[in-house]
Chain A
Amino acid sequence: MELAKKMKETKLTQELPISKQESKLYMSYISVAFIALLIGGLMGLLQVFVRSGKFTLPFGIDYYQVLTVHGVILGLVLTTYFIIGFHFSLMGKTVGISLKQRRVAWVAFWIMVMGTIMTATTILLGEASVLYTFYAPLRAHPAFYIGLALVIIGSWIAGFVNWSQLAVWKKAHRGEKSPLLAFMVTINTLLWFIASLGVAVAVLVQFIPWSLGYAETINVLLSRTLFWYFGHPLVYFWLLPAYMAWYAIIPKIIGGKIFSDSLARLSFVLFLFFSIPVGFHHQLTEPGIDSTWKFIQVVLTFMVIIPSLMTAFSLFATFETTGRRKGGKGLFGWFKKLPWKDVRFLAPFIGMLAFIPGGAGGIINASHQMNAVVHNTIWVTGHFHLTVATTVMLTFFGISYWLIPHLRGRKLTPKLNRLGIIQAIIWTVGMAIMSGAMHIEGLLGGPRRSSFSEYGGGEQVHAWIGYQMAQAIGGTILFIGIILMVFIFIKLTFFAPKGEEDFPIASEEEDAEPTPPWFENWKLWIGITVVLILAAYSVPVMDIIQHSPVGSAPFDWPIGR
């Protein structure tokens, strides 16, 4: 009996080899992400330069065109491609992929690439300077919206492949719990699918017919509401892959075990519940949404604090347990035993630390009344450069240091590890300066998403410009970090010595309590998610539609079309 149980457990932590053909698929997604990093980073550099007031863009390029590229390519392209590549790698490693599934995954890739090229072309031709939120009634070229729809549809197909991968595995392993990482990927793709339905409806039903001229007007508030129904879970779609690495991969890198398989699953389920019915906290200063419903969604927003607290506890519990096992004594002795010189740990760890001020800033943003102090100021930009551009990005970099050589049959050399550590430090310094200056300028009222302007002078504006200078310095340091990261990516992909790099997946403690089987009850999780969404959105959306003003005709000239 004991033996049977042991055998089953080894089977559970079994890791599958990744074939050359699979690697090619996963690397294709990840490579697009790094190309996006370089282009988007360059745009970011141009923006901080312009906002310093000492530089004007050559060849009549418009600031807002550059800003649109930056937002779309980093916020949507880099993140989505990297995440899908990472999702596939995790699924391939834990549950496997069939030939048919791999083919469909390639279809998803090419649909996304086609959409990306369509959207990028319209932006580069100056036909879509609408920023990545594309708020109506500014109208971009129809190809901009069609391209976006293709990216979303491609990403859905990739998600469906992930679901079928888990389903096939479960058929072959009746009664067993799904591998933790496969469970997490399934939650994140579910979250993405349910959330992006909102923006898909907005794009397909509202924007495309309207931009083509088939519909004369658009319901502006409804389109914004559908966008933010998607826009907030979008940030959790970025964050959860980082959490996958924190929960299930970092413990292995530091030589420890998973703190609790069930708690990790529970926190992911809670993120699924509470990241969608909350979009109104992005629309708090909106004139057309009832304030009671805004408050209800504010309360729901704050429920994500619970899984966040659980995550923080689990991570530091793993760190302490591991450090103590390695002989760390006293209250904080374990801290020194952590592998600080291993970039696979250091980069994500800095990311975790950045999430403390990042999360606190998020609480301020969503705080019903306090939001008015910071709404649409550059504080918000500073906030998400801490969360997505530091927490998430540094974790993605931390993943790349082992995932890319693993997929390419190469080794992370000590020299590249050292370069990675330097990269993480450059990133931290650059971001502390840039994001810090953005936060302060925002508190002083400085607006986000605005080209350089003296606004007719005045003391307030002088203070803002000083902080914009600091942002230019921070942004320049960050751009050096990007160049270094792209260099490391190229090295790891093409030039690092051949060898075998570990795909670190942590296992549970020997005496871990079994995970309750009800975690596999997907119908229940989806059911609760849908009920919460309907509860939070049905009445206010009906209200928006019934009490809507006359629709808005499209506007082309304000964006220079």
Chain B
Amino acid sequence: MHLHKYEKIWLTFGIGALVIFLIVLGYGAFYKGTHPQSHGVTIDQNNIESNEAFKPENLGLTKVDDDKYIINIAASAFNYDLGKDEEGNVVKHIRIPKGSKVLFQATSKDVIHGFNVAGTNVNMMVEPGYISSLEVAMNKPGTYTIVCNEYCGVGHHLMYATLEVYE
């Protein structure tokens, strides 16, 4: 089978670029630890309280250390349960100081949901039976909308919360 000279050049260049690209992706993933979230941690979706992180009192924001936080989220159609504040009101807005390290942990009580802190890399599928988790540094101040970005039913577009990163 014959390859035209120009086609050889074109393919060599193209495949070369592809190889470099894949090496960059692999380096980032395996040496810099930038894999997308995949922990394979399971949970009983019919009884998420059996897991310490998803007991009602542990939902929402918890300060672990200076600049270190955990946010536990129990997703269900069509709501993110972020726990209750001191007065017993439902939390829909979370505030964290700029530069904090935040560990997001989410699970679903019913169907599949999405969890996206819009405009950031915090973008996870939330599925019954699994715990989705991702640790990120929140460095850019602003108010971010948290949206469910996987269809979960007729009220899907009403499933949201907000996250404020303050200076």
Contacts and interface: CB of A to CB of B under 8 A. Distances in A.
Contacts of A8: none
B29 A555 contact: no
A446 B130 CA distance: 25
A64 B4 contact: no
A375 B126 CA distance: 13
Interface string A489-518: 000000000000000000000000101100
Interface in A342-393: 367-369, 371-373, 375-377
Interface string B14-53: 1100100110011011100011111111111110000000
Interface in A227-274: 260, 262-263, 266
B148 interface: yes
A526 interface: no
Given A368-B29, A369-B25, A447-B116, A287 B39 contact: yes
A220 interface: yes
A298 B25 contact: yes
A377 B125 CA distance: 12
B42 A295 contact: no
A138 B121 contact: no
B118 A287 contact: no
A449 B150 CA distance: 7
A284 interface: yes
Interface in A449-467: 449-453, 455-456, 458-461
Contacts of B78: 558
B49 to A, nearest CB: 15
A555 B86 CA distance: 34
Contact of B156 (A284, A287, A317, A451): A451
Given A135-B151, A376-B114, A455-B147, A302 B22 contact: yes
B48 to A, nearest CB: 11
A278 B152 CA distance: 25
Contacts of B25: 295, 298, 367-369
Interface string A448-489: 111111011011110000000000000000000000000000
A13 interface: no
- Residue in B1, B42, B110, B122 whose Cβ sees the most chain A Cβ within 10 Å: B1
Contacts of A451: 156-157
Given A302-B21, A309-B10, A372-B36, A286 B154 contact: no
Interface stretch (A107-115, A150-158, A408-416, A545-553): A545-553
B58 interface: no
Given A317-B4, A369-B25, A513-B1, A558 B154 contact: yes
A101 interface: no
Contacts of A560: 153-154
B11 interface: yes
Nearest to A308: B14
A310 interface: yes
Nearest to B130: A287
Contact of B38 (A263, A287, A369): A287
A137 interface: yes
Contacts of B94: none
A294 B34 CA distance: 13
Contact of A291 (B36, B121, B131): B36
A456 B45 contact: no
B59 interface: no
Contact of A455 (B35, B45, B145): B145
B1 A375 contact: no
B72 interface: no
Contacts of B131: 287
A557 B110 CA distance: 11
B123 A285 contact: yes
B111 A137 contact: yes
A375 B38 CA distance: 15
Interface in B61-120: 77-78, 92, 110-112, 114, 116, 118-120
Given A220-B129, A309-B14, A450-B157, A377 B40 contact: no
A305 interface: yes
B36 A285 contact: yes
Contacts of B126: 287
Interface string A529-561: 000000000000001000111101001011110
A176 interface: no
- Residue in A295, A461, A513 whose Cβ sees the most chain B Cβ within 10 Å: A295
Contacts of B167: none
A146 interface: no
A221 interface: yes
A375 B120 CA distance: 11
Contact of B1 (A63, A262, A291): A262
Given A447-B147, A558-B153, A220 B118 contact: no
Contacts of B149: 375-377, 447-450
Given A306-B14, A451-B156, A287 B40 contact: yes
Contact of A310 (B7, B77, B112, B128): B7
Interface in B124-164: 124-133, 142-145, 147-158, 160, 162
B127 A299 contact: no
A444 interface: yes
Contacts of B40: 287-290, 543, 547
22 contacts: A135-B150, A136-B112, A137-B111, A138-B111, A221-B130, A260-B2, A285-B37, A287-B37, A290-B38, A369-B28, A376-B149, A447-B147, A449-B151, A449-B156, A452-B157, A453-B157, A455-B157, A456-B145, A459-B143, A555-B111, A558-B77, A558-B78
> What are the nearest 7 A-B pairs in CB distance?
A558-B153, A445-B118, A549-B129, A453-B157, A447-B149, A376-B149, A291-B35
Interface of A: 62-64, 129, 131, 135-138, 220-221, 260, 262-263, 266, 283-291, 294-295, 298-299, 302, 305-306, 309-310, 313, 317, 367-369, 371-373, 375-377, 444-453, 455-456, 458-461, 513, 515-516, 543, 547-550, 552, 555, 557-560
Given A137-B110, A372-B36, A513-B2, 12 more contacts: A131-B151, A135-B111, A287-B130, A287-B132, A377-B149, A447-B114, A447-B118, A449-B149, A455-B160, A458-B162, A550-B46, A559-B153
